[in-house]
Structure 1
Amino acid sequence: MIGVVIPAHNEERHITACLSSILTAARHPGLLGREVRVVVVLDDCSDDTASLICGMDVSAVNVSFQNVGKARATGAEELLRAGAQWLAFTDADTVVPPDWIARQLDFMADAVCGTVEVDSWAEHGETVRSHYMECYQFVENHRHIHGANLGLSATAYREAGGFQHLAAHEDVNLVADLEKISANIVWTATNPVVTSARKDFKCRGGFGEYLASLSVQMGSANVLSPPL
């Protein structure tokens, strides 16, 4: 069985598109009929996120952490208890390609770190887009790490200790722990997801804040470091 985890904190604007793309990926013929279970971790949601996922073929876990690392870990634990052998992670403001899950499995690796593409630069402008494109590596063997595009075996997840309960950079810490156990990690740009460049980002220190820092502080020494 394959498990997919999506943490969500007030994501009514994006959750339907996200889940629709994941459910399409779950039916890809390359999976050869393997069961895919999707868990949305509703983290202190006060909007209509929960009601929007009703009727979709997904499970929901209600928590009140406002902590993305703990939310991802909670979803993973739920799926591991159900017997998941592979865990795929993305974000609620992200759309995955139809072969996203199948491609992760095709690599026959312990973990797969994928890239992200931005849905629209309308809120940031051409200067920000150009600077971002100069810094980001859309190549094989890149070293970018995104919780929005990450997959790993249940065995590797357990051996690495899983997601730490961090409010940011929980994905970076997990990959560092995977490297400590000498996990076979594939770094690919051939299986990208599309994520939002919105300015009302939910996670401090994450991808959204990095883009916002480029927009506000372009040319300043205070611009945040590029995403890994």
Structure 2
Amino acid sequence: MIGAVVPAHDEEALIGRALQALRVAAAHPDLQGEEVRILVVLDACRDQTGDIAHAFGAQCLAVDARNVGFARAAGAQALIEQGARWLAFTDADSVVAPCWFSRQLALRSEAVCGVVEVDDWTGFTSEERSAYEAGYFDAEDHRHIHGANLGVSVSAYQQAGGFPTLCTREDVALVERLHALGVRIAWTNTVRVLTSARQDGRAPDGFSTHLGRLRSA
């Protein structure tokens, strides 16, 4: 079984499209019918995120941490206890490609770091967009780490001790630990996710903060 973890804090505006994309990816023929379970970790949600997640057939786990590392770890542990062999992580404001799960597995690595692509640059100048794209290496053997596009075998995840309970850069900390352990990591741009360019991000010093720096440069 493949497990997908989506941490969410008041994401009713965007979670629907994220879950629809995950459902499409879970039905990819290359998975040969292997079950995919999608789990939304509702972290201090006060809106309708949970209702929407249930409507899309996702499992929900409620926590009250306001900490993305804690939320990812809690979701991962729940899916491991259900028998997952592979864990895939994305975000509630992101849309995975239809081959997202199948491509991760096809790479035959112990972990996969994919790339993200901004879905809508409305509100940014062409200069700001160009500055971002000039600094982003969208190619094979990149070294970007995104919690919105990360996969790992359960055995490697457990060997690394899982996600630390950090409110930001929890994804970087996990991948650095995997690398230190000699885990085989695929750094690929064939595993792709569209993500939003919103400025009201949920994690401090996350992707939205990075985009915000373009505006103050």
Match of 2:135 in 1: 135
2: CA distance, partners of 1:159 / 1:175: 12
Match of 2:82 in 1: 82
Alignment map for 1:9-158 (pairs within 5 Å):
9-158=9-158
Give the Å deviation of 1:133: 0.5
2: CA distance, partners of 1:64 / 1:123: 32
Unaligned 5+ residue runs, structure 2? none
Task: Check conservation: 1:123, 1:197, Cα contact below 8 A.
Answer: no
Secondary structure at 1:4 match in 2: strand
Secondary structure at 2:130 match in 1: helix
Secondary structure at 1:54 match in 2: helix
Aligned pairs, number: 217
Task: Check conservation: 1:61, 1:75, Cα contact below 8 A.
Answer: yes
Give the Å deviation of 1:200: 1.2
**1:130-173 deviation per Cα after TM superposition (whole angstroms, max 9, x unaligned):** 00010000110000000000001000000011000000000000
Task: Check conservation: 1:113, 1:187, Cα contact below 8 A.
Answer: yes
2: CA distance, partners of 1:214 / 1:84: 39
Give the TM-score of the pair, scaled to structure 2.
0.99
Task: Check conservation: 1:17, 1:95, Cα contact below 8 A.
Answer: yes
Give the Å deviation of 1:55: 2.3
Secondary structure at 2:21 match in 1: helix
Secondary structure at 2:117 match in 1: strand
2: CA distance, partners of 1:182 / 1:191: 21
Task: Check conservation: 1:2, 1:35, Cα contact below 8 A.
Answer: yes
- Aligned residues: CA RMSD: 0.7
Task: Check conservation: 2:54, 2:60, Cα contact below 8 A.
Answer: no
Unaligned 5+ residue runs, structure 1? 219-228
1:160 and 2:160 matched: yes
**1:5-26 deviation per Cα after TM superposition (whole angstroms, max 9, x unaligned):** 0000011111000000001100
Secondary structure at 2:13 match in 1: coil
Aligned residue type for 1:39:
L
Aligned residue type for 2:94:
T
Task: Check conservation: 1:18, 1:94, Cα contact below 8 A.
Answer: yes
1: CA distance, partners of 2:180 / 2:11: 34
Give the Å deviation of 1:91: 0.2
2: CA distance, partners of 1:123 / 1:51: 30
Give the Å deviation of 1:123: 2.0
2: CA distance, partners of 1:121 / 1:64: 32
Aligned residue type for 2:47:
D
Give the Å deviation of 1:127: 1.4
Task: Check conservation: 1:86, 1:151, Cα contact below 8 A.
Answer: yes
1: CA distance, partners of 2:51 / 2:82: 24
